[in-house]
């Protein structure tokens, strides 16, 4: 790889790392709480939909879908910007048996750079209480 391509690759890597840190802020439980407190809430059949704006920057828009039966998050869709370029963040949640809702997938798109990052989390297993002493 030539020096120019190496510099470009290093710059893209830094941008992706910064955008993924930003995406983590949007998926943070504190941010979800803030979105629910600030946002407009609509009730659908079996779910609640919350739309919040300006969570971190004025152009932000976050939609949170919450299960109407257990009030746990099911999905987040967020539109924001990084250094003036649009970024979309989609997070899917799944509920553990008789437990909390956990992130199962996060997709972050940076259209200006033609980059899509998928993060999947799976194989959550509830450990027996007897394993801890």
Whole-angstrom Cα distance, residue 83 to residue 59?
A: 12
76 by Cβ neighbours in 10 Å (0-12 / 13-18 / 19+) ranks as buried
Q: What is the pLDDT of residue 3?
A: 63
pLDDT digits (tens, 9 = 90+) for 65-119: 999 888 889 999 999 999 889 999 999 998 877 777 888 899 999 877 788 999 9
pLDDT digits (tens, 9 = 90+) for 32-47: 899 989 999 999 899 9
Give the Cβ contact number of residue 21 at 10 Å. 9
Whole-angstrom Cα distance, residue 60 to residue 81?
A: 8
Do residues 80 and 26 touch, judged by C-beta distance below 8 A? yes
CA atoms within 13 A on the CB side of 118: 4
Q: What is the pLDDT of residue 130?
A: 45
Q: What is the pLDDT of residue 58?
A: 93
For the chain, domain boundaries = 3-125
Q: What is the pLDDT of residue 59?
A: 92
Mean pLDDT over 114-129 rounds to 74
Taking the model in full, what pTM does it have? 0.81
Whole-angstrom Cα distance, residue 21 to residue 129?
A: 33
Q: What is the pLDDT of residue 99?
A: 73
pLDDT for residue 23 is more than 70: yes
- Among 116, 115, 113, which residue's Cα sits nearest to residue 105? 116
Determine the 3-state secondary structure of 97 from DSSP. Answer: coil
Q: Report residue 14's pLDDT band, with 50, 70 and 90 as the boundaries.
A: confident
Mean pLDDT over 37-64 rounds to 93
- Quote the mean pLDDT of the chain: 85
């Amino acid at each position: 790889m030539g020096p120019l391509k190496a510099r470009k690759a290093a710059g893209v890597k830094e941008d992706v790392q910064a955008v993924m840190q930003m995406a983590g802020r949007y998926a943070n439980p504190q941010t979800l709480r803030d979105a629910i407190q600030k946002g407009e809430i609509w009730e659908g059949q079996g779910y609640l939909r919350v739309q919040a704006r300006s969570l971190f920057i004025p152009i932000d828009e976050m939609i949170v879908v919450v299960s109407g039966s257990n009030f746990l998050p099911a999905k987040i869709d967020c539109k924001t910007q990084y250094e003036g370029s649009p970024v979309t963040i989609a997070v899917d949640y799944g509920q553990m048996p008789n437990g909390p809702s956990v992130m199962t997938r996060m997709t972050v798109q940076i259209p200006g750079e033609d980059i899509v990052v998928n993060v999947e989390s799976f194989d959550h297993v509830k450990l027996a209480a007897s394993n801890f002493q």
